[in-house]
Amino acid sequence: MAVNGIRADNEDNKLHAELLELLPGLRRYAYSLCGTADDADDLCQSAVERILEKGVPEDVVLAKWAFRVCRNLWIDQYRATRTRELAVENPLLQDINISDDSRRTENEIQLQQVNLAMQELNEEQRSALSLVTLQSMSYKDAAEVLEVPVGTVMSRISRARANLMKYLNTQSTFAQGH
C-alpha cells in the first residue's frame, strides 16, 4: 500500500503479523465496549479491515492506533444502537431471578454481572478501565490511545471502579431482595 505518509507496501507483511498478534487483545477490548461477542467480533473485524484498507500513519505505534480505530468505529457505528439496546437489556428492568437459574454457577453469574456492570459505565470510563486493566497498558499509553491527559485517565479509572462497585452492590442487593 503505497500512499504518501502511509506505511510502504514492503511493510504490509509486518502489518499483517502485528495485527495478527494484536487480534486477541483487540477482540477483548471490542468485547468490553460492545458487551456481546457477536458485536465485538463485528467491531474487531471492521477495525482490522479499516486498518488494512486505510493503512497506518508512519508516525504512530500500531498497537495504540489499532485501539484508537476500534474505539472510534465503535463510537461512530455501534454506540447509538447499543444505547437503544441497553434500555431493553438493563438487568434492573428485567425479570431475572438469579437464584432460580440452576444452570449457571455462582461464579458465572458474577462474571456476567461484571460484564453487565461494565456496560453501565459511560464509554470514556469503560475504555480507560479496559485498556489499563485488561490490556495492561500504562496510564500514559492509555492516555495516548484515548487522546486525553494522563490525569484524566487516572480520574476515569477511579470513577469507573467506584461506579462498578456501586453498581455491583446495587445489583447484589436487588437480586437478594427480588
Partner 1 sequence: MTISDEKLNAFIDGELSALEMSIVRDAIAKDDHIADRAEALAALNSQITASLSAIDAIPLSAGLSQVKSQLETGAHTEAADNVVSFPWWRQAQAAMTMPTAIAASIAAIFGFFLNSETHTGAGAMSDWSAISQALSNQTSGELVTTNNGSSFEARLTFLNQEGEYCRQFYIKTNNAPALQSIACRTESDWQLRAAMPTVEQDGYQTASNDRALDDVIDAMIKGDIVSLEQENKAIERRWKQ
Interface residues with partner 1 (CB under 8 A)?
12-17, 19-25, 27-28, 31-32, 37-38, 40-42, 44-45, 48-49, 52, 61, 63, 110-112, 114-115, 118, 129-130, 132-139, 141, 154-155, 157-158, 161-162, 164-165, 168
Comparison of 86 and 134: residue with beta carbon closer to partner 1: 134
Provide the minimum distance between the beta carbon of 62 and partner 1 in the complex, in angstroms, as a whole number: 9
Q: Which three cell numbers stand for residue 111?
A: 462474571
Comparison of 96 and 134: residue with beta carbon closer to partner 1: 134
Comparison of 76 and 108: residue with beta carbon closer to partner 1: 108
The angle formed by the CA atoms of residues 33, 176 and 108, to the nearest 5 degrees, is: 45
Provide the minimum distance between the beta carbon of 19 and partner 1 in the complex, in angstroms, as a whole number: 5
> Is 141 within 8 Å of 130 (Cβ atoms)?
no
User: What does R_g of the chain's alpha carbons equal in angstroms?
Assistant: 18
Provide the minimum distance between the beta carbon of 176 and partner 1 in the complex, in angstroms, as a whole number: 18
Comparison of 13 and 94: residue with beta carbon closer to partner 1: 13
Closest CA to 131 of 117, 119, 146: 146
Amino acid sitting at position 148: V
Q: Which three cell numbers stand for residue 143?
A: 492516555
User: Counting every residue, how long is the chain?
Assistant: 178
Provide the minimum distance between the beta carbon of 109 and partner 1 in the complex, in angstroms, as a whole number: 11
Name 6's bridge partners: 57
